[in-house]
Structure 1
Amino acid sequence: MRILVLGSGAKDHAIAWWFSQSRLIDGLFVAPGNVGTESIATNLSINPSSPQEVYQACLENIIDYVFIGTEAPLFTGVIDYLNERGIDTFGAPSRALKLEGDRNFSRTFTDRHNIPTPTHHVFEAEEPLAAYLKRHTGERFVVKSNTIAPSRVMIDSSDYDALMNFAKSLFPTGSIMLKEHLGGLPVTITLLLDNNGYLMLPPSSDYMKAGEGGLPTGGMGSICPVPLQEEVLKSLVETIIEPTLYGLKVERMAYKGVLTISVIITKKGPILVDYHVRFNDPAAQAFVPLVRTDIIDILNAMKNDTLSDLKLEVSTKSSVALVVASAGYPEKPVVGKELEPIPAALMLNAFQGAPFYFFGGVNAMNGKLLTTGGRCVTVVGIGKNIMDANKNAYKGVKFISFPGSWYRADIGDSFFEN
């Protein structure tokens, strides 16, 4: 099978690496790819969000299957365009995109199917939002765009000025959603779907802020798997997962692909925060190295609607994913900084026992590695438990250095500290 993965970020590198481990492929391509994917696949210089360019690339490279785990190509109609022309794909079709692309729709969806969510309100303009916040002075809220927002950008605060200023930056692109703040453990649940059921990948817990109490980011780290108690997992399935899949089916939005569910495990039980119709970053980088089942076997089961019968083989080890970012991220990342040379074996993820290195905002130019974005490299440590994985991630991050580089120093700490 000849595979094309669309994307250029760290999670796309992780997915391409996952494919590269398969015994069932005879061609691997990534568009446009990055400096990390070029050693395991053929990078194609096309626009992954252009249905026409992707289709032409499929014809020229005799592609059997196109895998989309990132958001941009989904929202430009690549899936539908390819399917209409007979090319198999992994990703949500247009009829399902509003589950992520319109947060107000997703909230009415959860209301219809009695799925627990935070109290929420949608505002179209500044004045009614300001009036509402003044009536609830001192209360803590989350503000985020009501439409698709790259990197899950939001603010969580009780400060009126901070909430209003952030909302003002979003209003030019559309309405905003105001949600109550929830305290608890954040968990990312990644489900692979077919017409008869689902397969749950190892759950993770993501660190979304630049630091404890810092600015929101696209994700600065993740641990996997999250140690969930049996009763919590049962409640998660019964109150969120099963009602969601039922709702997708009866509302004719069911599809074959991935559905990522962000939840908070509160004292009252699991509460749904958001749906994503693609993989989340850095959760994907954390769980991919732990999955032992051949990805092609998973996709074949999906095609045959037998996912729920597939026994997923997962390592008994744990992972800690640590994101190295540029100076100024998340507000104004400084780019064009040169990375110090990285040992070739580490670049290839070929050194047994070493951390994994998944590249995002990094590009090669004239034999040098230069930063091109805010989140540059995800270092993933593997260990017998979270503490061990944490140690290996922080040992491995020493090989990633460039002027202004930074990372959180506490990823995974809360899971093993007393």
Structure 2
Amino acid sequence: MKVLLIGSGGREHSLAWALAKSPKLTKLYAAPGNAGIAAHAELSDLDVSDHAAVITFCRDKQIEFVVVGPEAPLVAGLVDDLDAAGIKAFGPSKAAAQLEGSKAFTKAVCDEANIPTAGYGRFDNAADALNYVRTKGAPIVIKADGLAAGKGVVVAMTLADAEAAVTDCFDGTFGAAGSEVVIEEFLEGEEASFFVLSDGINALPLATAQDHKRAYDGDEGPNTGGMGAYSPAPVLTDDLVADVMRSIVEPTIATLSKRGTPFKGVLYAGLMITSDGPKLIEYNTRFGDPECQVLMMRLKSDLLELMIASADGTLDQSHADWHDDVALTVVMAAKGYPGVYKKGTEIKGLNVISSDEAEVFHAGTKSDGDKILANGGRVLNITALGTSVKDAQAAAYKAVSKIDWPEGFCRSDIGWRAVARET
């Protein structure tokens, strides 16, 4: 089977790495890909926002299946257009992808299905939003309604920060994404990520993970797209997973099906484990980044087969098997990230890390002859396995120490919560 993978980040490199193992795969293409993905796929500079061009490419190359990695093409309806052209794809329709594309849409689904989530208000003007914030006080969470490249959420610990976040949204900081704002109560607890595959009716649980959003050690500094992750997440016990399936995931899938917009693809539930039980923080309609990297390291089953079952509506006949080992990934980012950072700096030492030690998934990289150059904020994901979080952590950081990139940085404490539980 010829497959096209859409995307260029660390998530997509780990998906390419996993897809390449499938006996079903005969040829993998990636658009646009990166320097790491090039080891598994033929890269194309295809403009993935041009859906007609993607369809033409698929027909020219006789692509039988398209895997859409990032959220933007899903929200833009790429899967709908591929489906209309008779090309099978993995991912939700434009209507179902609103679970990620609109915070207000997700809240409406939660209301309809009685899904536990943070209390909230939604606003289309600054005056009412500011009045709500001043009434509720801080801490409080301000969310731009639409896609904002992971930057539209502010956890405001002071009233002044909350007011500034509201003003930023309505002043156009996040473009059209901030034209409506969802303001949520601040939830106390521990965050975790839970992933399932859905074929529109059936839900197949995958695995749990825990991300590290803050830029610096000790969960300090600004929010990022994610500085590291590990899987499984001990905070999500078997009983809690069953609770999440029953009270959050299954009602969501049933509600979208009842609405006539069935959800197919991977559903990523961002959860807060509170004293009252798990509550939904947000949904993503694609694999997390960097959570995908640790999930792919642990997955024993054929990823391509599972994705096809999701598209075909046969997940009730599928099962996902996992390695018992813990997987942990450390993100190396360009200094200055998530603010201003420099591109084009050379990364050395990658060739001395063997696959027995760790997998290095490329995120923001490009090739320049024999050189690998940084080409983004989050640049590398160094991912290792171990019998415990502590062992996986040690293996990952041993590999990190071999990388010669003075212009990069990483946190030194990925997995710290789980390591503390183990001791």
- Please, what TM-score do these two structures have when normalized by structure 2? 0.93
Matched, 1:94 2:94: yes
| 1:243 equivalent among 242, 251, 269 | 251
**CA distance in 2 between partners of 1:89 and 1:141 (Å):** 38
**CA distance in 1 between partners of 2:117 and 2:322 (Å):** 30
1:51-200 aligned within 5 A:
51-137=51-137, 139-151=138-150, 153-171=152-170, 172=172, 173=175, 174-200=179-205
**CA distance in 2 between partners of 1:291 and 1:30 (Å):** 21
1:190-229 aligned within 5 A:
190-211=195-216, 212-227=219-234, 228-229=236-237
**CA distance in 1 between partners of 2:23 and 2:121 (Å):** 49
**CA distance in 1 between partners of 2:376 and 2:161 (Å):** 25
Q: Name the structure 2 match of 1:412.
A: 415
| 1:274 equivalent among 249, 273, 282 | 282
1:87 to 1:8, Cα distance in 2 relative to 1, 3 A? same
**CA distance in 2 between partners of 1:199 and 1:217 (Å):** 29
Amino acid paired to 1:360: A
Shift of 1:64: 0.6
- Please list the CA deviations of residues 277-332 of structure 1 after superposition, one character each: whole Å capped at 9, or x if unmatched: 11111110110111011123213433443313322111010011111111111122
Shift of 1:414: 1.0
> Do 2:200 and 2:253's aligned partners in 1 also have CA atoms closer than 8 Å?
no
**CA distance in 2 between partners of 1:53 and 1:63 (Å):** 13
> Do 1:50 and 1:76's aligned partners in 2 also have CA atoms closer than 8 Å?
no
Shift of 1:390: 0.8
Shift of 1:162: 2.3
Amino acid paired to 1:379: I
**Is the partner of 2:34 in helix, strand or coil?**
coil
**Is the partner of 2:195 in helix, strand or coil?**
strand
- Please list the CA deviations of residues 162-194 of structure 1 after superposition, one character each: whole Å capped at 9, or x if unmatched: 223333332212122211111222111111111
> Do 1:318 and 1:384's aligned partners in 2 also have CA atoms closer than 8 Å?
yes
**CA distance in 1 between partners of 2:239 and 2:158 (Å):** 36
> Do 1:50 and 1:73's aligned partners in 2 also have CA atoms closer than 8 Å?
no
Matched, 1:372 2:375: yes
**CA distance in 2 between partners of 1:396 and 1:50 (Å):** 39
1:305 to 1:136, Cα distance in 2 relative to 1, 3 A? closer
> Do 2:201 and 2:257's aligned partners in 1 also have CA atoms closer than 8 Å?
no
**Is the partner of 2:132 in helix, strand or coil?**
helix
> Do 1:338 and 1:403's aligned partners in 2 also have CA atoms closer than 8 Å?
no
> Do 1:317 and 1:382's aligned partners in 2 also have CA atoms closer than 8 Å?
yes
**Is the partner of 2:11 in helix, strand or coil?**
helix
1:387 to 1:167, Cα distance in 2 relative to 1, 3 A? same
**CA distance in 2 between partners of 1:36 and 1:133 (Å):** 45
Shift of 1:221: 1.0
**CA distance in 1 between partners of 2:164 and 2:407 (Å):** 27
Q: Identity of paired residues, percent? A: 29
Amino acid paired to 2:211: D
Amino acid paired to 2:397: Y
1:304 to 1:50, Cα distance in 2 relative to 1, 3 A? closer
> Do 1:153 and 1:216's aligned partners in 2 also have CA atoms closer than 8 Å?
no
Query: Which aligned runs of 4 or more in structure 1 are off by greater than 4 angstroms?
Result: none
Shift of 1:33: 0.6
> Do 1:24 and 1:296's aligned partners in 2 also have CA atoms closer than 8 Å?
yes
Shift of 1:72: 1.9
Q: Name the structure 2 match of 1:354.
A: 357
Q: Name the structure 2 match of 1:29.
A: 29
1:369 to 1:230, Cα distance in 2 relative to 1, 3 A? closer
Matched, 1:328 2:336: yes
Higher mean C-alpha deviation, range 396-405 or range 195-204: 396-405
Shift of 1:46: 0.8
Amino acid paired to 2:73: P
Amino acid paired to 2:332: V
**CA distance in 2 between partners of 1:131 and 1:357 (Å):** 48
Higher mean C-alpha deviation, range 60-69 or range 400-409: 400-409
Shift of 1:352: 4.1
Shift of 1:152: 5.4
- Please list the CA deviations of residues 381-416 of structure 1 after superposition, one character each: whole Å capped at 9, or x if unmatched: 211111111111111112334233111111101112
**CA distance in 2 between partners of 1:109 and 1:132 (Å):** 22
**CA distance in 2 between partners of 1:168 and 1:160 (Å):** 12
1:27 to 1:46, Cα distance in 2 relative to 1, 3 A? same
**CA distance in 1 between partners of 2:98 and 2:148 (Å):** 13
> Do 2:104 and 2:122's aligned partners in 1 also have CA atoms closer than 8 Å?
yes
**Is the partner of 1:335 in helix, strand or coil?**
coil
Q: Name the structure 1 match of 2:302.
A: 294
1:95 to 1:134, Cα distance in 2 relative to 1, 3 A? closer
**CA distance in 1 between partners of 2:407 and 2:143 (Å):** 28
Q: Name the structure 2 match of 1:318.
A: 326
> Do 1:153 and 1:218's aligned partners in 2 also have CA atoms closer than 8 Å?
no
**CA distance in 1 between partners of 2:152 and 2:410 (Å):** 18
Shift of 1:196: 3.6
- Please list the CA deviations of residues 111-153 of structure 1 after superposition, one character each: whole Å capped at 9, or x if unmatched: 111001101122333333333333344x211122111221254
> Do 2:55 and 2:82's aligned partners in 1 also have CA atoms closer than 8 Å?
yes
